[in-house]
């Protein structure tokens, strides 16, 4: 197990600009964790710090698993804007399997495409797929590695409702298979459907951590209350 993940007074800044102010928390297996906050609140930066793509400028990110290679191998991330290699959908999956030192056979990659309903486009250029298909391919690449922790940065941003539901069904399946989900989203319905707890960020600060229903019905901070009102245009 690489979990739990501990952030010990983690901060991140660029030059004089603080982007994440010192923040400590522990994330354990099981509960799905949703990151919420306005544009620019620091959600993507925080996930990159957790995933190890950025190094904190202060504090430490500590996984239960001490070995760096296993830490990397057991976590995957799907980015806000998926980057597709200029190759077929199948080769995109084989590439990540190879890079992780896993069996990169066609049959294993096809199985990953199958799980996200993309077997029929296996030989098509990944960059020619629709936005929703590219997001599902990004999920297939992450899922092919059967990670213990899956970071998802707004995986259904700019997708239509049916493509969004497809992504949500996949995330639910990964969760049911025992993968810890850590996801940023602006879709509050999605946060309620998929999340168990919310981490709410405001201007680089972790303002609130709460079970998902408590967060939406009884936000403890004025910042969270204003955010919920602002994101629900009919209120
Ligand atoms: N390398 C960088 N240099 C300077 N500023 C940066 C850098 N990376 C991020 N930032 C700033 O840090 C802040 C947080 O960015 P981040 O991408 O984490 O926001 P976010 O919560 O993911 O927003 P969104 O909802 O729009 O995706 C932003 O103001 C951004 O401009
Ligand atoms: Mg972001």
Here the CATH number for the domain that contains residue 47 is 3.40.50.300
> 143 with 137: CB under 8 angstroms?
no
**Domain contains 191:** yes
- Global pTM value: 0.95
43 lines ligand 1 (CB under 6 A): yes
**Domain contains 100:** no
Residue 140 in this model has a pLDDT that exceeds 70 = yes
Measure the CA–CA gap between 1 and 49, rounded to whole angstroms. 19
pLDDT in the model for residue 181:
98
What's CA 97's distance to the chain center, in Å?
19
Q: How many domains does the chain have?
A: 1
Measure the CA–CA gap between 235 and 232, rounded to whole angstroms. 6
- Name the residue of 37, 43, 198, 227 whose CB sits within 8 Å of the most ligand 1 atoms, as the mutation to test its pocket: 43
pLDDT tens for each residue of 23-35: 999 999 999 999 9
- Name the residue of 11, 16, 19, 20 whose CB sits within 8 Å of the most ligand 1 atoms, as the mutation to test its pocket: 19
Which one of the ligands is nearest to 46 CA?
A: 1
pLDDT in the model for residue 158:
82
Residue 235 in this model has a pLDDT that exceeds 80 = no
**Domain contains 107:** no
pLDDT in the model for residue 232:
63
Which residue has its alpha carbon closest to ligand 1 atom 4?
14
**Domain contains 122:** no
**Domain contains 173:** yes
**Domain contains 23:** yes
Residue 162: give the domain boundaries.
5-83+148-231
The whole-number average pLDDT for the span 141-147 is 93
**Domain contains 95:** no
Which one of the ligands is nearest to 38 CA?
A: 1
Which residue, 214, 228, 165, 195, is CA-closest to 27?
195
Residue 234 in this model has a pLDDT that exceeds 60 = no
pLDDT tens for each residue of 36-78: 999 999 999 999 999 999 999 999 999 999 999 999 999 999 9
Cα of 76 vs centre of ligand 2, distance in Å, is 17
Cα of 38 vs centre of ligand 1, distance in Å, is 11
47 lines ligand 1 (CB under 6 A): no
Cα of 40 vs centre of ligand 2, distance in Å, is 7
**Domain contains 57:** yes
The whole-number average pLDDT for the span 193-210 is 97
> 171 with 152: CB under 8 angstroms?
yes
185 lines ligand 1 (CB under 6 A): no
């Amino acid at each position: 197990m690489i979990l739990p993940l501990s952030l010990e007074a983690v901060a991140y800044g660029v030059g004089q600009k603080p982007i994440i102010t010192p923040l400590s928390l522990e994330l354990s297996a099981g509960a799905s964790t949703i990151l919420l906050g306005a544009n620019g609140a620091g959600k993507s930066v925080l996930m990159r710090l957790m995933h190890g793509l950025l190094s904190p400028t202060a504090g430490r990110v500590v996984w239960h698993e001490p070995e760096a290679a296993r830490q990397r191998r057991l976590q995957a991330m799907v980015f806000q804007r998926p980057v597709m290699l200029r190759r077929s959908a199948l080769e995109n999956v084989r590439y990540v399997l190879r890079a992780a030192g896993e069996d990169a056979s066609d049959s294993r990659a096809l199985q990953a495409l199958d799980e996200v309903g993309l077997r029929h486009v296996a030989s098509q250029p990944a960059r020619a797929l629709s936005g929703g298909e590219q997001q599902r391919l990004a999920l297939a690449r992450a899922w092919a590695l059967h990670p213990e922790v899956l970071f998802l940065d707004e995986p259904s941003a700019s997708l239509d409702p049916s493509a969004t539901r497809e992504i949500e069904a996949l995330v639910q399946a990964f969760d049911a298979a025992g993968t810890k989900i850590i996801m940023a989203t602006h879709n509050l319905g999605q946060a309620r459907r998929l999340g168990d707890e919310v981490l709410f960020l405001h201007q680089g600060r972790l303002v609130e951590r709460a079970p998902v229903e408590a967060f939406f019905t009884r936000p403890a901070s004025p910042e969270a209350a204003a955010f919920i009102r602002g994101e629900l245009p009919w209120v």
